[in-house]
Amino acid sequence: MDLVLAPLERIGRRVSAAIAGLGHGAMLLLESLWFMGWGWRRGQPVRLKMVFEQMRQVGVDAIPIVCLLALTIGVMLGIQFIAALSEFGAQSQVIVASAKSITREFGALITGIVVAGRSGSALAARLGSMVVSQEVDALSAIGIEPVRYLVAPALVAMLVMLPVLTVMADVVAILGAGLYSMGPLDISLYGYLAQTLDLLEPRDIWEGVSKSVVFGMLITLIGCSVGFSVSGGAEGVGRATTRAVVLSISALVIADMLFSFFLNR
């Protein structure tokens, strides 16, 4: 019986922990939204200074790596689409294929993965260190709500900066695809970009931007919930950082799949 019950018990514990994690994340979201809208009535407003600081860390500091990866992805897509479509004599479709795949999928996804690796892990490590050193308890003891002070500014910054980074990544990736395609397609960069603008629709841009909003919410809530649940000292902080990155990237890929399924039916 133990051979049968032990695996079931482990599965039950993991399912219970997963459900508890979802509930914790949902409560963090609701509390953050409440403090953003009505916290000032209780003397607990979300400080703009902290929001701007988080926006710098999340967005401005991530610009170089996001642009570098977006440029690389754009060139890679140009290479792959030209190689694949040339077999069918459809090189003229490279421009629309690259533009739509970048704006709908790759721009938001690559940006989300980069931000999850940078800011999601940083949130988990920061909050985990504060939990271990009992700084979170100290905030509560002096009357400062930890969610208002630690989570809400990060959520606002992520919801603002991730869409901005996504649009920037789209532009750089399309530019990269255009730079590579100039030779094989015998077209100027200006002509490539002009055709891209003619072929793109507002729906293509908004699909990627809407994904980035959800991605920003997932990264923040996962990083913060994992950070608040840290135990075991410095070793626990390290485990939480790794767990936050893995869970965030997994959640982004699953969310992207669901978006693609429902928006392209």
**Whether 54 contacts 120, CB under 8 Å:** no
Q: Which residues contact 83 (CB under 8 A, 6 or more apart)?
A: none
Q: What is the pLDDT of residues 76-123, one digit of tens each?
A: 998 888 888 877 777 778 888 889 999 998 999 999 999 999 888 899
pTM passes above 0.85: yes
| Neighbour count for residue 213 (Cβ, 10 Å) | 16
Least confident of 13-17, 50-54, 121-125: 13-17
Tally Cβ neighbours within 10 Å of residue 134. 10
152/39: higher pLDDT: 152
- HEC string of the chain? CHHHHHHHHHHHHHHHHHHHHHHHHHHHHHHHHHHHHHHHHHCCCCCHHHHHHHHHHHCHHHHHHHHHHHHHHHHHHHHHHHHHHHHHCCHHHHHHHHHHHHHHHHHHHHHHHHHHHHHHHHHHHHHHHHHHCCHHHHHHHCCCCHHHHHHHHHHHHHHHHHHHHHHHHHHHHHHHHHHHHHHHHCCCHHHHHHHHHHHCCHHHHHHHHHHHHHHHHHHHHHHHHHHHCCCCHHHHHHHHHHHHHHHHHHHHHHHHHHHHHHHCC
Q: Quick one: pLDDT band at residue 2, thresholds 50, 70, 90?
A: low
165-224 confidence digits (pLDDT tens): 999 999 999 999 999 988 888 888 888 888 888 888 888 899 999 999 999 999 999 999
For residues 69 and 99, give the distance between their C-alpha atoms in angstroms, rounded to a whole number.
Answer: 16
Nearest-5° angle of CA 256, CA 258, CA 264? 95
Q: In this prediction, what percent of the chain has a pLDDT beyond 90?
A: 34
